[in-house]
């Protein structure tokens, strides 16, 4: 039988004509488009992961621990070491299949029909899709020309819109811009009374790239205890080199975490996923051994691009946004033709390159010189 045309199915009206999210997945030598860690997990980590998965293999006929408290305790301990936050326990942590699912849980719990979520563009392109999928109204404010936030203008816009949720990425994607801690304080104080019916606005600081931030750039985790409506999201995809494992998490006040438990699907985090994540956390130092090297490659890439006259956003992440180009797609295609895949995203006329190994960055520089003549 032929496939039934989508037009003959009762697809939601707001989804008609929409395409699934996704960056190009192409088989090329140099993959620098989705901000992956270019280094594979070391052999000893792979061995521990394999042994940990094998250990739970005999019980896969049973549902996993639906509250995964051991993993949450391990994540809390890691966050305290990494960020200098204090007082974090399993009750302060939530996890899901990638930070995408964490964000969806947040909007399922606090968004919905008649409510609004807002952020400030340019920012992560999935945010409006979380809003759409949870039937939450999406509102996008703007940033300064250098992609930083103007705290006073940001607060004024939040007070005007009165959203249920505000999503702020720090470092921001696709620009790499970090949010100063003073701004987190100011925005969090304002959000205490700007939500629906006089409640708080849930302020989410998305720190997916936090481990790559430059020295002296603090985490919002250090002020978590001051704001019961603040949540700080993280992922194991980037610094832990576990993009294929799909583990994201957040830290927040236990009351906020309990709200997310209401909307999660039963047993949403598999026993295999829990085992992989806990094994990886036992090898944090080994998995993050190259983070400092990636910071060095990033800073070298930014300097090289600026020396050739490109405008490059200040970045605390493992990528760089650069341009402008009269025809960015032609540049993107020229790089692809030379085996280098980067990303068309963010402001028009700009491109984003993920930071790879020394050899991958050399290939990127060589291809860009050929394509642009710079």
What's the rounded Cα separation, in Å, for the pair 130 and 347? 20
pLDDT at 16: 92
pLDDT at 128: 97
Asked whether residue 35 carries a pLDDT value surpassing 80, the answer given is yes
Q: What domains can you pick out in the chain, each with its CATH number?
A: 6-42+289-372 (3.90.1150.10), 46-286 (3.40.640.10)
Please tell me what DSSP assigns to residue 28. -
Kindly report the average pLDDT of the chain as a whole number.
Answer: 96
What's the rounded Cα separation, in Å, for the pair 323 and 316? 18
What's the rounded Cα separation, in Å, for the pair 255 and 162? 21
pLDDT at 21: 86
Please tell me what DSSP assigns to residue 222. G
pTM for the whole thing?
Answer: 0.95
pLDDT at 7: 63
Which tokens is 54 given? 């094998």
Please report the DSSP string for 252-270 in residue order: E-HHHHHHHHHHSPTT-S-
Neighbours of 344 (CB within 10 A): 17
Query: Sign of the C-alpha dihedral, residues 174, 180, 181, 185?
Result: negative
- Is-contact 336 328, C-beta < 8 A? no
Mean pLDDT of 6-15: 85
Distances 178 to 147, 209, 217, 314 between C-alpha atoms, Å: 10, 10, 8, 8
What digits encode the pLDDT tens for the residues 199-245? Answer: 999 999 999 999 999 988 999 999 999 999 999 999 999 999 999 99
Please report the DSSP string for 37-54 in residue order: -SSPPPHHHHHHHHHHHH
Which tokens is 344 given? 């068309």
Mean pLDDT of 313-323: 97
What's the rounded Cα separation, in Å, for the pair 271 and 62? 9
Asked whether residue 1 carries a pLDDT value surpassing 70, the answer given is no
Q: Tell me the β-bridge partners of 249.
A: 95, 234
pLDDT at 3: 55
């Amino acid at each position: 039988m032929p496939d039934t045309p989508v037009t003959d199915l009762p697809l939601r009206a707001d989804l008609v004509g929409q395409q699934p999210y996704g960056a190009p997945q192409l088989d090329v030598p140099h993959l620098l488009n989705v901000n992956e860690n270019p280094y594979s997990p070391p052999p000893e980590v792979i061995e521990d992961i394999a042994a940990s998965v094998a250990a739970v293999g005999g019980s896969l006929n049973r549902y996993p621990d639906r509250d995964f408290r051991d993993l949450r305790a391990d994540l809390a301990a890691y966050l305290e070491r990494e960020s200098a936050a204090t007082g974090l326990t399993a009750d302060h942590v939530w996890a899901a299949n990638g930070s995408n699912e964490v964000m969806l849980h947040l909007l399922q719990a606090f968004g919905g029909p008649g409510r609004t979520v807002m952020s400030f563009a340019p920012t992560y392109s999935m945010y409006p899709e979380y809003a759409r999928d949870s039937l939450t109204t999406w509102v996008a404010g703007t940033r300064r020309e250098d992609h930083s936030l103007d705290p006073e203008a940001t607060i004024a816009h939040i007070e005007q819109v009165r959203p249920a949720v505000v999503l702020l990425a720090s470092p921001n994607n696709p620009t790499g811009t970090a949010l100063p801690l003073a701004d987190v304080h100011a925005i969090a104080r304002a959000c205490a009374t700007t939500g629906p019916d006089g409640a708080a606005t849930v302020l989410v600081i998305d720190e997916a790239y936090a481990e790559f931030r430059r020295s002296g750039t603090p985490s919002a985790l250090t002020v978590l205890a001051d704001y019961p409506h603040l949540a700080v999201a993280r992922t194991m995809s980037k610094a832990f080199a576990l993009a294929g494992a799909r583990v994201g998490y957040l830290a927040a006040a236990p009351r906020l975490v309990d709200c997310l438990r209401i909307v999660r699907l039963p047993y949403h985090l598999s026993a295999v996923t829990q085992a992989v994540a806990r094994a990886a956390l036992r090898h944090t130092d080994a998995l993050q051994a190259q983070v400092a090297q990636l910071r060095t490659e990033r800073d070298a890439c930014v300097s090289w691009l600026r020396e050739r006259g490109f405008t490059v956003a200040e970045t605390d992440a493992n990528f760089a946004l650069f341009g402008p180009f009269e025809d960015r797609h032609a540049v993107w295609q020229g790089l692809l033709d030379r085996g280098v895949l980067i990303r068309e995203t963010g402001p028009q006329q700009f491109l984003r390159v993920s930071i790879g190994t020394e050899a991958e960055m050399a290939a990127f520089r060589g291809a860009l010189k050929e394509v642009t003549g710079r």
